[in-house]
Chain A
Amino acid sequence: MSEALGLYNYWIVIFLMMTGLYLVISTGNLVRKVVGLNIFQASVLLLYVTMGRVDGATAPIFVEGRETYTDPLPSVLMLTAIVVGVATTAVALALTVRINEAYGTIEEDEINEQEHAQELAG
């Protein structure tokens, strides 16, 4: 039991991951989908930073009297992942703007209706 609680960071990761994924799947609003995607990606940031942590360790800077350091690599990787996430969000929001211009809505069911009509018209 205490072991399960001690891993509470991972519980948060799983909670955030599922929240984000659920939002992406369930909502029909394109902006909300992007928000869900962001939460989903943020959970991975936490996962990586958590796995780099070592109990009782300091930041990986050489200091007198300290011998254990946290693993800096996962944190550094996440800087890259944040950049990728920002780029993805930017592209997604730009697309949403274009979709709004083309369809006059960002609700998925209304878009589907219009597309269906377009399909029937040829």
Chain B
Amino acid sequence: MSEHLAVLPVLLPLLAAPICFLLRNRIAAMGTAIAVCWVTFVAGVVLLRTVVTTGAPAIYELGGWSADVGIVYHVDTLAAFVVVLVSSLGAVVLTFAPQSIAKEIPKEKHHFFAALYLLSMAGLLGIAVTGDLFNVFVFLEISSLSTYALISLGQDRRALTATFRYLILGTVGATFILIGTGLMYQMTGTLNMAEMAAHIRETEGVRTVLVAIAFLTAGIGLKMALFPLHAWLPNAYCYAPSSVTAFVAATSTKVSVYVLIRWIYTIFGTQGPGSMSGVVVDLVLPAMAISGMFIASTVAIFQTNVKRLLAFSSVAQIGYMALGVSLVSESGLTAGIAHLFNHALTKGGLFLAMGCIAYRIGSVQLADMRGLGRRMPVTMFLWVLGGLGLIGVPCTAGFVSKWYLVRAALEQDALYLAVIILLSSLLAVIYVWRVIETAYFQEPPEGKDEVTEAPLSLLIPTAVLIGASIYFGLFTEWSADVAGLAARELLGVVR
């Protein structure tokens, strides 16, 4: 059992997906999916504990084929951390889903929903654990294709055009990644990331490798919605069913950031002879990250649809992660990795709160949320806590990662970066305040039916995520500390 631990998180949802599809019964399919998600989560936690306590990566050779001929799963601290991120968020959001989709998706399609959700999760988990570059592409497409189908389940017809746009841009991004992978294979003769890293030193300054880096960065930039490659994201988040938005927002872009970290630090390297990601981390990433932090936050302030407001805020938050990754220091990388997890909790919780609101008032327009603070007090209280996390108020998880980020900037004597981070957080104050002001200080609209608090089956998952984002703001042992450990591993610092 324990020697198969590394493959379990991928295998469980992948096998359960066709079972859910064949069950054809709404309750049985959703029940199976939820059970499998929680078992996957437990497997992920055990995996992370094993990797952290033994101090060595878990390696699994699929079919017993060694790395030079077969596909190898290579789970280090960072990979296990991402597995826990995806499986925990996946499990909580799916627990939320049955009640939420009952109002948003026709009943006869619920078993499709369960199967697609599991497939998407299997793809994301596969990206995290695999040590093979081509395998990353395959899992990326598994998760993307099922995500397209999930988003198109949205009620509004604009969900269809949003999905089509996401499909076009996502496929272009994935094909860029495929081209980059091919060029890397051409130069190194292997697809295994560890072996690729060993061979890449011999190809210093070869133009093919530089072209490969360009294709890989542009491709993954599209997938992670790095500003200005985020065009697909706002409408896709806005019109997807509530639980799909929460799942996709919390996991899919984060996993893409993970892939970027993996490429820059594991394959191309950042120090010493032969490292060629210099132009990416010195110029491209910080420039895109900083402009994203400001422009996307500013656009978020002017949104009238709260789901779209949160979507633009996500683009800005991706900027913080990319900035942390680009600093190439222990605290910078720690900030980037910790922010993956902390922001996934915060934004997942916020989108679940939006799901509660959509369930009760059938709208996510800011104007319809007037006076909601008195009529749905618990939901709005959770929303406010999540909003504080977005800003980065102390005692929330968002503060911990921003703290590391500011510290990393100061370590490099980049005072201007610290100022930029604080200024862009002020923009977050404005858009979070707009929602709070509308919900608490404006009179409810006249002539609408009385709105009551959301049912407990929706409130509990929301409270779990928001509560976790507060918990990990106070106790950092399993979030920021593990992120720091992963950062030291990536930078090759002996522990």
Contact = CB atoms under 8 A, between A and B. Distances in A.
Interface stretch (B1-9, B105-113, B144-152, B417-425): B144-152
Interface string A1-41: 00000000000000000000100100000100100010011
A58 to B, nearest CB: 20
B182 A44 contact: yes
B171 A37 contact: yes
A51 B175 contact: no
B148 A44 contact: no
Given A51-B186, A98-B152, A24 B161 contact: no
Contact of A88 (B141, B182, B365): B141
B102 interface: no
Interface string B338-380: 0000000000000000000000000001000000000000000
A21 B172 contact: yes
Contacts of A95: 148, 152, 160, 163-164, 167
Contacts of B160: 95, 98-99, 102
B145 A48 contact: no
B485 interface: no
Interface string A101-113: 0110000000100
Contacts of A87: 141, 145
A118 B163 CA distance: 18
B168 A51 contact: no
B240 interface: no
A80 B185 CA distance: 16
Given A87-B145, A122-B365, A92 B167 contact: yes
Contacts of B164: 30, 92, 95-96, 99
B168 A33 contact: yes
B434 to A, nearest CB: 18
A84 B141 contact: yes
Interface residues of A, number: 31
B215 to A, nearest CB: 10
A98 B160 CA distance: 7
Contact of A41 (B149, B163, B175, B365): B175
B52 to A, nearest CB: 34
Contacts of B138: 80, 84
Contacts of A73: 185, 191
A37 B176 CA distance: 12
Contacts of B134: 77, 80
Nearest to A115: B158
A24 B158 contact: no
A47 B179 contact: yes
Nearest to B170: A88
A91 interface: yes
Given A84-B141, A92-B167, A44 B175 contact: yes
Contacts, number: 71
Name the residue among B137, B168, B174 with the largest chain A CB count within 10 angstroms: B168
Nearest to A103: B157
A111 B161 contact: yes
Contacts of B186: 51
Contacts of B161: 99, 103, 111, 115
Interface in B61-84: none
Given A40-B172, A95-B160, A99-B160, A48 B182 contact: yes
Contacts of B309: none
B178 interface: yes
Interface in A54-111: 73-74, 77, 80-81, 84, 87-88, 91-92, 95-96, 98-99, 102-103, 111
Contacts of A48: 182
Interface in B154-208: 157-158, 160-161, 163-164, 167-168, 171-172, 174-175, 178-179, 182, 185-186, 191
A76 to B, nearest CB: 10
A88 B178 contact: no
Contacts of A111: 161
A44 B185 contact: no
Name the residue among B138, B171, B179 with the largest chain A CB count within 10 angstroms: B171
Contacts of A122: 365
Given A44-B179, A84-B141, A74 B168 contact: no
B171 A88 contact: yes
B168 A37 contact: yes
Nearest to B235: A115
Given A88-B171, A103-B157, A122-B365, A44 B152 contact: no
Contacts of A81: 137, 178
21 contacts: A40-B172, A40-B175, A44-B178, A51-B185, A51-B186, A73-B185, A80-B138, A84-B174, A87-B141, A88-B145, A91-B149, A92-B167, A92-B168, A95-B152, A95-B164, A95-B167, A98-B152, A99-B160, A99-B164, A102-B160, A118-B158
Given A74-B185, A84-B141, A102-B160, 14 more contacts: A51-B182, A73-B185, A80-B138, A88-B171, A91-B145, A91-B149, A92-B167, A95-B160, A95-B167, A99-B160, A99-B161, A103-B157, A115-B158, A122-B365
